[in-house]
Structure 1
Amino acid sequence: MTTPLVDLKGRSPWSVLPPLVMGFFMVMVDMTIVNIAVPSIQKSLDADLTSVGWVNSGYLLSFAVLMLPAGRLGDRYGPRMLFLSGLVVFTAASALCGLADSISLLIAARVIQGVGAALMTPQTMAVITRVFPAKSRGAALGIWGMVAGLATIAGPVLGGFIVEDWGWEWIFYVNIPVGVVAIVYSVVTVPHLETHKRYFDVVGTLLAVAGLFLLVFGLQEGENYDWGKIWGPVTIWELIGAGLVVLGVFLVWQHRLGDKALLPLRLFHYRNFSLANVSAFMISFAMLGIFFPLTIFLQSILGLSPLAAAMVNLPASLLSGIVAPFAGRLSDRINGKWVVATGFGFIAVSLLLVYSVLTPDVSEATLIWCMIPFGIGTGLVFSPMVNLATAGLDHRTAGAGAGAFNTIRQVGSVVGSAAIVAMLTGRLATTIPNAAHDVAAGLPADLRQPFATIFSGGDVSADTIQQGFQPPAGVTGEAAKRIGAAAQQAVGDGFTVAVKDTLLLVVAALVAGGVAALFMSPTRRASDDAVPAAGAGEASEEPAAV
C-alpha cells in the first residue's frame, strides 16, 4: 500500500486518475478526429478546403500557445481549479462546435476548445506528479501514456464510425457526456493542492504567447501560403523569424526573473528534464511524420477508404495501450532511460520495415505487421519519458514543468507536420516526373507525347495525387486506357519513393530522441514520499544536474 503525498481522506491516489485521463483523452482525440470529417464539414457548411483546414489549425494553435501560461497558473491557483475550468470550457466549446452553422463559427468554437485543452493538459501531469508517491508514479504515468497512444489513432477510427453513421456534428457532441462525467468525477476526487500565490509573470506570458503564436502559425500555415507572402510584403519566413526573436527576448526575461519567471530556467539545469523535452519533441515530430504520408499513401495509392486506412494502424494502437502501463511500472523498477531508448529503437525499426516493403501494391496485412513494433515502441516511450521529466519537479514547479513539457511536445508536432509536408511535396516534385520519364520509355512512341502532357504542368501536390491524373483531351479508347494506367503507375512509383525518402527524415528524428534518452541519468529513489517543503532547494527525486 502506497502512502499518498496529499490528504485524500482515506482514498487511494488511483481514485484521482479517471477524470484526469478522461479529460486528457478528449484533448488528444480531438487533435486527429476532425481530419476524417473534413469532406463532410466542407459539404455541409459550403466551405473551401483552406477554411476547413483552420478547423484543426485553430484548435492546435490555441492549444500549443496557451499551455505554458496554463501550467504556471496551475501552480498559482491550483491544478484542480485550472483542470475543472478547462473541462468546462472544453465541454461547452464542443457543444458550440456541433451547433455551428457556418465555418467561421466552427473555427471560433474550435479555438475556444483549444483554450480548454491548454488549461487541462498541464494539470494532468502536475496532479499525477504531486499525488502519486515515487514507487507508483511510473505506473500512473503509464496509464497517462496509454491514453496518449490510444487517442492518437482512436481519433480517425472513431471519427470514421461516427461520421458515417451519425454525421460530423457528433464527433463533437460525444464529448459532452464524457465531459460532464469528468467534471462531476473531478469535483469529487481531485484534491485541492497547495498553491503558491507569488508574483505572476505578465510580461513573460505576453512574450511567450506572442512568440509561440508567430512561430506555430508560421510553421503550421507555411505550406498553405507556399512558404511565401501572407499579408502584403510579410512572408512566412519573416513571421517565423519574428517568433524566434520574441522567444529569444522571452528567455532573456525569464533569466532575469529567476524563480519568479513564467518558466523558471533552473528546470533546464537538470539533465533529465532537458533531455526528456528533447525526446518529447522528437517523438511528437515523428508521430506526425509517420501518419501524414502513410495516410495519403493508403488512400491515394492503395485506394483504401478513410476508415479502412485508419484500421491499418489500429492493431499497433491497441498494442501501445497494452504495453504502456507495463512500461510505466518497469520504469519504477529500473532506470527509465533504457525503457525510453528501447521504445525509440522499436519505432525506428518499424519505420525501416515499412521502408523496406513499401511498393504501390503492398498489402494491408504486410503494413499492419510492420507497424507492430511501432505500437510496442510508443507504449514504451511515453510514460517512462514523462516519469523521467517530472522526477525533478517539486510542488512549486510541477505546473510550470508540465506546461513546458507539453508545450515543447506540441511544438514538436507542429514542426514535424511542417517539415514532413514540405519534404514530401518537395520530393514529389522530383520523384513523380522521374517515374513518369521511366514509364514513358516503355510506351509506344505515338503515346509518349500525350502521356508527357499529363505531367507537363508540374502540379504534383498531394491534392492532385488524391484527385488523380486524367488523360489529355482528344485521347480516347484503348490509348486513353493505356495512358491512364501508365500515369497511375508513375504516380504510384513516384509517390512511393517520396514517402520512403520522407520516412528516413522521421527515422533521423527518432535516432536523435533515442540518443537524448541514453544520456539521461538515473533518478534517485526517494526513501520517503514527502513533497519538499516550500523553499526547499531540491526535490527528493531530483536527477543529476548537467
Structure 2
Amino acid sequence: MELKHSNGHESGRVLPVLFAGVLMAALDIGIVGPALPAIQTTYGADERGLSWVFGIYILFQLVGAPVIAKFSDRQGRRAVYIACVAVFAAASLLVAMSPTFAVLLTGRAIQGFCAGGILPVAIAVIGDTFPAERRGRALGLIGAVFGIAFLLGPLLGGILLRWGWQWLFLMNLPLAAVVLWQAARLLPTERQPMRSPIDWLGIGLLSVMLAALAWAISAVDFGALATSAGSPRVLPALLLAAVCLPALLLAQRRAADPVLHPELLRSAELRLVGVIALATGLAEAAMVFLPAFAVTGLQVPETTASFMMIPLVLALIVGAPAAGRLADKLGPKRIIQAGLIMTASGLLVFGLSVLTRASFFTAGVLVGLGLSALMAPLRLVVIREVSEAQRGAGQGLLATCLGIGRLTGAAMVGGVAASSADQTTGYQDALLFAAGLLGVATIVSVALKSLSPAGRQMEQNHGP
C-alpha cells in the first residue's frame, strides 16, 4: 500500500503529533540536569556513575536511530512511531519507580533507544505526507523543538523537582498518552509490512560498532590524544569497532533487506551530507560548554550562566522555521552553505575576539542562526536522494552521523579545555578548531547538487 501526500489540512494535523513526540524525547536530555543531586542522594551514586544518567541515554539514542528508522521502512511509520512513544513512556515509569540505580540506568537506556527513533521516523513521515514545496517549513518547525526543549527543560525541571525528581519522568506519561491517541488517529495509513527476512546480523553488527565507537569517543582524552587512544579504556573499543565495520559491509551485501542499504552507501550526495553532519554535530556539542566558557571568561555566576545562552536559543527557534521556508524556495544547498558560514563565523568570534558580553551574545546569535539553517536542509537532501522505501533508513543514517559528531565534539572541547593551563584559552582553542572543521565542511558543500528551478518543479509535482 503506497503512501499518498496529504493535502494541507491533513498534513497540518499530523505535524503537532510529530512535534509533541520529538519534544518529549528532546526534553529528557536537558530536564535531568536539575535532578542529578537528588538522584545521587537517593541511590548514593558516585560522580562517575551519575554521569551515566546522561551518557547512557546518548549512547542508546545513537544506536537506536538507524535501527528503528529502518524498521519504520519495513513495518510502516505509524506502527513504529506509536511503539517508540509507548515504550519511551513505559521506560519513563521504570526510571521513576526504580528500586536501584542500575534499574534507573536500564530505564534511561530504553528511553534513549526509543528517543533515537522518534526523530528520524517523524522526519520520514514528513517526507511521506507533505508535498515537496512544503517539506522545508515543516522540517524547520520540527527543528525549532530543540531550542524550545533547551528553554523549557531546566524550567520544568526546577518546578517539578519540588515534588520529587521522579515527577521529571512521570510527566512524560500524560504527554505520551495524548501523542499515542492522536498518532493512532492521524498518522497516515502505512504500506503492508515487508516479508523479506529482518537483517538481524546487520542490526547486531551496526549496534555493536556504534556502541564501541561511542564508548571510545567518550573515553578518549583529546588533551593527550596519542596516549589516551592506546589506553586500555579506549583501544579495545576502537579495535572492536574496526573489526565490526568490514563485517557489517560484507553482511549488507548478502542481506535480503539490509539495515544499511547499498543505495545509501553508494550515494555520493549522502556521503557529502554525512561529512557535513559530522561537523554540524561537533559544533552543536561545543555549544554545551558555552555556559562554562562564560563562567571562566566573563566571571558569570554558575547559577545564571545558562541564561547567557538565551540569545543563541532564540536565534535557533526563530531561524529554524525561516531556514526551512527558504530551503523550499531556493533549494537546500544555498541554505546549508549559509548555515555553515554563519556557524563558523560565530565560533571565530568566540575564539578570536576579546571576550565581552557583547561579543558573546553576537557570536551566540550567529551560531544559533547558523545551526538553525542546517537542520531542515540536510534532512531535505536526504529525503530527495533516497527512495521512499529507504526514507527512514536515510534519516537514521543522518541522525547517526550527527550523533557521532556530537560525541566527538563533547569529548574534544572538554578534553582541550581541561588540558589547557588557562581554561578560557582552552575553550577558545577548541571553538577555533570546530570553526576550522566547519570551514572544511563548507568547501565540501560546494559539491552538493544544485536543484534547478525546473528540477524543483518536477520534485514538487512528482515527489522524490
TM-score (norm 2): 0.90
Deviations 1:453-481 (A, max 9, x none): xxxxxxxxxxxxxxxxxxxxxxxxxxxxx
Unaligned runs of 5+ in 1: 432-493, 532-539, 542-546
Please tell me whether Structure 1 or Structure 2 has the larger radius of gyration of its CA atoms: 1
Unaligned runs of 5+ in 2: none
* Preserved contact between residue 221 and residue 412 of structure 2 (Cα < 8 Å): no
Distance in 2 of aligned mates of 1:530 and 1:260: 29
* Preserved contact between residue 36 and residue 306 of structure 1 (Cα < 8 Å): no
Q: Count residues in correspondence.
A: 456
Distance in 1 of aligned mates of 2:94 and 2:444: 42
Deviations 1:292-316 (A, max 9, x none): 2x23233456554555222111222
* Preserved contact between residue 5 and residue 132 of structure 1 (Cα < 8 Å): no
1:322 matched residue in structure 2 = 318
* Preserved contact between residue 288 and residue 417 of structure 1 (Cα < 8 Å): yes
* Preserved contact between residue 162 and residue 168 of structure 1 (Cα < 8 Å): no
Distance in 2 of aligned mates of 1:35 and 1:284: 21
1:525 matched residue in structure 2 = 456
1:78 offset after TM fit, Å?
0.7
Pair 1:502-2:430 in alignment: yes
| Aligned mate of 2:328, from 298, 321, 332 | 332
Pair 1:288-2:219 in alignment: no
- Secondary structure (helix, strand or coil) at the match of 1:313 reads helix
1:207 matched residue in structure 2 = 205
Q: CA RMSD in A?
A: 2.8
* Preserved contact between residue 320 and residue 378 of structure 1 (Cα < 8 Å): yes
2:129 matched residue in structure 1 = 131
- Secondary structure (helix, strand or coil) at the match of 2:388 reads coil
- Secondary structure (helix, strand or coil) at the match of 1:396 reads helix
Deviations 1:499-541 (A, max 9, x none): 111111111222233223232102332537677xxxxxxxx53
* Preserved contact between residue 346 and residue 362 of structure 2 (Cα < 8 Å): no
Distance of aligned partners of 1:105 and 1:298 in 2 relative to their CA distance in 1, 3 Å threshold: farther
- The aligned amino acid for 1:396 is A
Distance of aligned partners of 1:204 and 1:12 in 2 relative to their CA distance in 1, 3 Å threshold: same
Distance in 2 of aligned mates of 1:507 and 1:253: 37
* Preserved contact between residue 277 and residue 389 of structure 1 (Cα < 8 Å): no
Q: How does 1:193-342 map to 2 (within 5 A)?
A: 193-195=190-192, 196-222=194-220, 234-257=232-255, 260-292=257-289, 294-299=290-295, 302=298, 304=300, 308-342=304-338
Distance in 1 of aligned mates of 2:9 and 2:343: 38
- Secondary structure (helix, strand or coil) at the match of 1:12 reads helix
1:209 offset after TM fit, Å?
1.0
1:277 offset after TM fit, Å?
2.0
Distance of aligned partners of 1:390 and 1:350 in 2 relative to their CA distance in 1, 3 Å threshold: same
Deviations 1:241-270 (A, max 9, x none): 22122123212322344x731111222433
| Aligned mate of 1:349, from 333, 345, 365 | 345
* Preserved contact between residue 296 and residue 423 of structure 2 (Cα < 8 Å): no
1:536 matched residue in structure 2 = none
1:48 offset after TM fit, Å?
0.6
Distance in 2 of aligned mates of 1:529 and 1:370: 36
Distance in 1 of aligned mates of 2:321 and 2:184: 26
Give the structure with the larger helix fraction: 2
TM-score (norm 1): 0.77
- The aligned amino acid for 2:155 is L
Distance of aligned partners of 1:529 and 1:67 in 2 relative to their CA distance in 1, 3 Å threshold: same
Distance in 2 of aligned mates of 1:246 and 1:276: 23
1:375 matched residue in structure 2 = 368
- The aligned amino acid for 2:4 is V
1:163 offset after TM fit, Å?
6.3
- The aligned amino acid for 1:374 is V
1:284 offset after TM fit, Å?
0.9
Distance in 2 of aligned mates of 1:234 and 1:385: 37
Distance in 1 of aligned mates of 2:316 and 2:185: 30
2:115 matched residue in structure 1 = 117
* Preserved contact between residue 263 and residue 386 of structure 2 (Cα < 8 Å): no
Distance in 2 of aligned mates of 1:297 and 1:222: 21
Distance in 1 of aligned mates of 2:7 and 2:435: 48
* Preserved contact between residue 278 and residue 405 of structure 2 (Cα < 8 Å): yes
Distance of aligned partners of 1:358 and 1:54 in 2 relative to their CA distance in 1, 3 Å threshold: farther
